[in-house]
Amino acid sequence: MIAVESLQKHYPIRRRGVFRRRSTGAVRAVDDVSFTVASGETLGLVGESGCGKTTTARAMLHLIEPSAGRVLLEGEDVLAVFRRGERREELRLRRRMQYVFQDPYLSLNPRWTVAETILEPLRVHAHVPRAQWEERLAHLLDLVGLEAAHAARYPHECSGGQRQRVGIARALAVEPGFLICDEPVSSLDVSVRAQILNLLVELQERLGLTYLYISHDLASVRFIAGRVAVMYLGRIVETANVETLFAHPRHHYTAALLAAIPVPDPDTRIVRAVVAGELPSAMNIPPGCRFHPRCPAALPRCREIDPPLELAADGHLVACHNPR
Amino acid sequence: MPDTQLTAPRAVAIPRRPGLWRQGWRRLRRNRSGMVGLTLVGLLVITALLCPVLAPYDPNDQSAMIDYAANAPPNRAHVMGTDRMGYDVASRVIYGAPTALAVGVGAMLVASLIGTILGGLSGYAGGIADELLMRFTEFFLVIPVFIVILAMVRLFGIIVVGTPLENVPYLNLGTIIMLLGIFGWPPIARLARAEFLRLKQAEFVEAARCIGARPRAIVFRHILPNALPSLIVVVALGTGGAILAEAMISFLGFGDPKAVSWGQLLYFNYGTLRVAPWASIAPGLAIFLSVLGFNLLADGLSDAFNPRTRR
Amino acid sequence: MSEALLQAEDLRVHFFTAAGVARAVDGVDLSVGARETLGLVGESGSGKTMTSLALLRLVPPPGRIVGGKIRFEGQDLLARRRRAMQAIRGKRIGMVFQNPAHSLDPLMTIGAQLVEVLRWHERLTRTAAETRAADLLALVGIGDARVRMRQYPHELSGGMKQRVCIARALLCNPVLVLADEPTTNLDVTIQAQILDLLHDLKDRLRTSMILVTHDMGVLARMADRITVMYAGRICETADARTIFRTPQHPYTRALLESVPRADRDYGPTGRRLPAIRGRPPDLVHPPSGCRFHPRCPEAGEDCRALLPLEFPIAPGHTVSCLRRGSPGVPT
């Protein structure tokens, strides 16, 4: 349903002169990222901080201007439409793809009631007559599990879980087919996370939604995603369906990531952290394979040639010279 | 609880926005210094509005001179005494209130309009526009504002001699108000810029863009309402500052001779401080209480508008 | 059972806000033995952070410790004068906070901050202090210690900063270390490194630790005993294996079940996590009786009226639940 091709986002580093600004290199936040999400499926995009997953998501919706690449929504070049600047076309696209933000405290206007926040998309798009707004509001509140009384509340009067439900309702107000969920439960209490995850799954089943689920929490990704793409320093290093990835990760970074997750079972065999060192800065991406300085299985090739993302097995893509 | 609903209502009435200002008001009521400030400001406003009713004498009534009652200490006929020209001090102080209020409010209106527009533009647009506007603001900050105002007031007073403008009532006062406004916008612009910069990157603004809202809608419906509380606080502070500035200008003799202003009362009467101190103390006290009132109010508003301090 | 190193009895911390009195910690007993790691787990509002702050008498206003005793090394910490606490904080009890960027002074070099602690508590000369600081930085896995000591916090990565904070906590050889969510803000791979480090240090230096966290995985790795808190009260205390294998309190069970696990297979369709319904409690107006009853799948009529007390159901295992046999007091 949605295909991302060679997406790039480079932030040039400029030295400040008095009048001119010279460019000395770039932060390659997103460096040639490609993936597809089939209709009705959930693709999990995982990686640690600074890997570029949020930048990718924002670029897909044109909230950030990508440096290169295409995004195809059911075959249509989304970025070209946005760049053309035609209001009607832009609104039409925005009705098909929406975004659920990470922080429920910050993603709602603190001076607006819940009702105003949820109805803003209707107001902007003007595609639903005003007479039906109240009905829509009731429907959306019910869909996300909020009561009618919540409509008059302000964000600071709601709990974190409720606020996130409001954010989801707002995203669903225009009835999109594709939803990007950016760490939707990371800011929530542990006991509330399960509620919201269940809600997302239920909504997907009821409304036939397609999700791009971004998270650094692999456990929740395992629960909600069908396929997973792992990012490291702006690149996708592995893509596979979720069970294969967890059972047999082929990229060493993926393996390290999985091994590092603390498992709530005191008798699990402790695997000591297999990856040493720190994450390099995105300004100084190592040459060749960007993971090679920390990789326990690095070959001499890895220092020179950047491995492309290739098919290793059925539906399983890896970017590695020496996969497991 | 969300999970135990029986039936969902078919429609939910869209509520009118009731309570953010009311919630702020409630918080202000609990803040003691804010309430003191509000009381003082309220007194100022009431005095200004009702000055003909409240003042026992006409402010230009010099009848006290006739019975050698000038420079008289507070007595039954003159509650605050009289000054060296026979004016009743109390009446002149009361009539000074509308002047002070006009200056404060007028100057702040001008300043906040200019400041919010320039600062907001600067913060929202960024880039070259931001740089230029900031240099412009710094220019205004570097100017010795007070001296310039004095010079311009005097200059303007000379220029209009012989022109029809000369007969405009309270022209001098109007000039002072305009000048205070024109030179008072930089702090507001700075704050507006800071707020717009901060809010531009707020996640709910990004959410609005994601929905497809136009930049104009974002500025007026999202950013401005959230910037308003901080701006109001700065404006309240600025009002006190404007009153003080006008008092200083008048005290140095540059004020409007036809307007009754506290600073001017001091200008007339500070020479007789030893003989008739009440004529100077009264207007001085009025200035002090007014400025204090606005400052305390600004303090209280700042606390009231910060809903985060609860958690 | 070994003599407890630190023992808190009936600890109470209340927050006096404009909206009312929030009973953040409401009658908590806990104890840590020598060379033992106690895990304190709960969500926001459970009181776990406030409990750890109370142990060092660092509760910020408008909060105040309003009751209880804290016995440490033979004295009641709450009875002593404030200045006496300064000799304990940083020296006998070390603390590692959640956000390493915030707990290091951005205007001082790493070395200066470490040396400051040593010179304050142990009256070493500058050279001796610097040597000791460098030794500790090496101990926590920071190579080039001398170089790092001249750097400022912003020049270090998150993981490095946290190592520095750990080193700082250990400078004066404390017998107890309080760690409040020490790895929550770190990336997963870095978190694994830090947990390995803490584990090693614990063994080598023979310190006790109180580890406050909401992450059950971290607890499983690090804790010997675990105390589960909810709404300012203790639900259950037991050794780690018991808590994970046979939890007794409904909240503990629900918490363990509702967390998605990376080692569990979730089928393609019809999957739901067993979620805890409802929302975290309001500490100003907590539910009557058992604080967890509105969300508890086993709640009965009595749970609404009686507040359960901690009750030992096995050696070293206490639970506060009427359904498990705890006595209750009417609220």
Residue by residue, DSSP assigns C123-134 as ---HHHHHHHHH
Q: Residue B3: what pLDDT?
A: 38
Residues of chain B with Cβ-Cβ distance to A137 below 8 Å are 11-12, 14
Percent of chain A with pLDDT over 70: 95
**Nearest neighbour of C276 by CB, restricted to A49, A191, A217:** A191
Looking at residues B212-238, what average pLDDT do you find? 89
User: Using omega within 30 degrees of 0 as the cis cutoff, is the peptide bond preceding C62 cis?
Assistant: yes
Give the number of A-C residue pairs with CB atoms closer than 8 Å.
135
Q: Mind listing the pLDDT tens digit for each residue in C53-83?
A: 999 888 888 888 998 889 988 888 888 888 8
Looking at residues C167-196, what average pLDDT do you find? 88
The CA angle C59-C63-C66, to the nearest 5 degrees, is 90
**Considering Cα of A289, then A293, then A296, then A299, what sign does the dihedral take?**
positive
Output the DSSP codes for B135-179: HHHHHHHHS-HHHHHHHHHHHHHHHTTTSGGGGSTTHHHHHHHHH
Longest dimension (CA), chain C: 67
Answer with the residue of higher pLDDT: B141 or A174: A174
Strand partners of residue B243: none
Cα distance between residue B209 and residue B201, in whole Å: 11
Looking at residues B58-64, what average pLDDT do you find? 74
By C-alpha distance, which of B252, B270, B249, B259 is closest to B83? B270
Smallest Cα distance from C278 to chain B, Å? 6
Whether residue B212 and residue A90 make contact (CB cut-off 8 A), yes or no, is yes
Contacts of C265 (CB under 8 A, 6+ apart): A243
Please return the burial class of C166, using the count of CB atoms within 10 Å of its CB with bins 0-12, 13-18 and 19+.
buried
Q: Residue A165: what pLDDT?
A: 93
Percent of chain B with pLDDT over 70: 90
How far is residue A193 from each of residues A197, A198, A205, measured CA to CA in Å? 6, 8, 19
Answer with the residue of higher pLDDT: C185 or B104: B104
Residues of chain A with Cβ-Cβ distance to C220 below 8 Å are 262-266, 268
Percent of chain A with pLDDT over 90: 21
How far is residue C253 from each of residues A264, C217, C256, measured CA to CA in Å? 12, 15, 5
Cα distance between residue C167 and residue C252, in whole Å: 33
- Which band of pLDDT confidence, cut at 50, 70 and 90, is reported for residue A228? very high
Cα distance between residue B80 and residue B87, in whole Å: 10
**Nearest neighbour of A121 by CB, restricted to B15, B18, B211:** B211
Q: Mind listing the pLDDT tens digit for each residue in B191-223?
A: 999 999 999 888 899 899 888 888 888 888 888
Q: Mind listing the pLDDT tens digit for each residue in C283-307?
A: 888 888 889 999 898 888 888 888 9
Helices (H), C36-109: 48-55, 82-88, 100-103
- Which band of pLDDT confidence, cut at 50, 70 and 90, is reported for residue B310? very low
Looking at residues A54-76, what average pLDDT do you find? 89
Tokens of residue C288, six digits: 């009557």
Query: What fold, for A2-9+27-225?
Result: Rossmann fold (3.40.50)
**Amino acid occupying residue A25:** G
Answer with the residue of higher pLDDT: A191 or C311: C311
By C-alpha distance, which of B233, B125, B121, B109 is closest to B180? B109
Smallest Cα distance from A190 to chain C, Å? 7
What Rg do the C-alpha atoms of chain C give, in angstroms?
21
When the pLDDT of each residue in chain A is averaged and rounded to a whole number, the result is 86
Closest C-chain CA to B30: C18
Longest dimension (CA), chain B: 88
The DSSP output letter for B82 is B
- Which band of pLDDT confidence, cut at 50, 70 and 90, is reported for residue B8? very low
pLDDT at A21 over 70: no
By C-alpha distance, which of B104, B79, B106 is closest to B94? B79
Smallest Cα distance from B26 to chain C, Å? 11
Cα distance between residue C284 and residue C281, in whole Å: 9
By C-alpha distance, which of A254, A212, A250 is closest to A232? A254
Cα distance between residue B2 and residue A166, in whole Å: 13
The CA angle B26-B27-B29, to the nearest 5 degrees, is 65
**Nearest neighbour of C193 by CB, restricted to A190, A195, A273:** A273
Give the number of A-B residue pairs with CB atoms closer than 8 Å.
105
Whether residue C261 and residue A190 make contact (CB cut-off 8 A), yes or no, is no
Q: Would you tell me how many other CB atoms lie within 10 Å of the CB of residue A34?
A: 17
Best B6, B7, B12 residue to mutate vs chain A (most A CBs within 10 Å): B12
Longest dimension (CA), chain A: 68
Contacts of B172 (CB under 8 A, 6+ apart): B153, B156, B157, B255, B256, B257, B258, B259
Tokens of residue C292, six digits: 């967890």
pLDDT at C229 over 90: yes
Contacts of B311 (CB under 8 A, 6+ apart): none
Q: Mind listing the pLDDT tens digit for each residue in B117-155?
A: 988 888 888 788 888 888 888 888 888 888 888 898 888
Whether residue C241 and residue A266 make contact (CB cut-off 8 A), yes or no, is yes
Looking at residues A145-170, what average pLDDT do you find? 88
Cα distance between residue C218 and residue C198, in whole Å: 11
Tell me the whole-structure pTM to 2 decimals.
Answer: 0.84
Whether residue C277 and residue B3 make contact (CB cut-off 8 A), yes or no, is yes
Looking at residues A82-95, what average pLDDT do you find? 87
Output the DSSP codes for A70-123: EEEETTEEHHHHHHHT-HHHHHHHHTTEEEE-S-TTTSS-TTS-HHHHHHHHHH
Tokens of residue A307, six digits: 């491995």
Cα distance between residue B6 and residue B99, in whole Å: 63
**Nearest neighbour of C277 by CB, restricted to B1, B30, B310:** B1
**Nearest neighbour of C187 by CB, restricted to A197, A220, A279:** A279
Helix (H, G, I), strand (E, B) or coil at A318: strand
- Which band of pLDDT confidence, cut at 50, 70 and 90, is reported for residue A48? confident
Cα distance between residue A166 and residue B18, in whole Å: 19
Q: Residue C276: what pLDDT?
A: 85
Instruction: Sheet with A21-37: list strands edge to edge.
Output: A21-37, A2-16, A68-73, A76-77
Q: Which chains touch B (3 or more CB pairs under 8 A)?
A: A, C
By C-alpha distance, which of A2, A40, A76 is closest to A210? A40
Domain regions of chain A by residue span: 2-9+27-225, 248-324
Cα distance between residue B207 and residue A174, in whole Å: 13
Answer with the residue of higher pLDDT: B173 or B59: B173
What residue has token string 């200083």? B248
Please return the burial class of C152, using the count of CB atoms within 10 Å of its CB with bins 0-12, 13-18 and 19+.
middle
Tokens of residue B234, six digits: 């700065």
Q: Mind listing the pLDDT tens digit for each residue in A251-300?
A: 989 988 888 888 888 877 676 666 777 777 777 788 888 888 888 888 88
Q: Mind listing the pLDDT tens digit for each residue in B251-307?
A: 998 888 888 889 988 998 888 888 888 888 889 999 999 999 999 999 888 888 765
What number of residues does chain A have?
324
Helix (H, G, I), strand (E, B) or coil at B58: coil
- Which band of pLDDT confidence, cut at 50, 70 and 90, is reported for residue B12? low
Whether residue B5 and residue A142 make contact (CB cut-off 8 A), yes or no, is yes
Interface pTM, i.e. ipTM? 0.83
pLDDT at B236 over 60: yes
Residues of chain C with Cβ-Cβ distance to B310 below 8 Å are 17-19
Smallest Cα distance from C55 to chain B, Å? 22
For residues C149 and C133, the answer to whether their CB atoms sit within 8 Å is yes
Tokens of residue B193, six digits: 């810029």
Helices (H), chain C: 48-55, 82-88, 100-103, 110-122, 126-139, 145-149, 158-170, 188-205, 216-222, 240-245, 250-258, 301-305
Whether residue B204 and residue A108 make contact (CB cut-off 8 A), yes or no, is yes
**Nearest neighbour of A154 by CB, restricted to B13, B20, B203:** B20
Interface residue B197 vs chain A (CB under 8 A)? no
Cα distance between residue A199 and residue B185, in whole Å: 50
For residues A312 and A318, the answer to whether their CB atoms sit within 8 Å is yes
pLDDT at A17 over 80: no
Give the number of B-C residue pairs with CB atoms closer than 8 Å.
10
Percent of chain C with pLDDT over 90: 30
Looking at residues C242-250, what average pLDDT do you find? 92
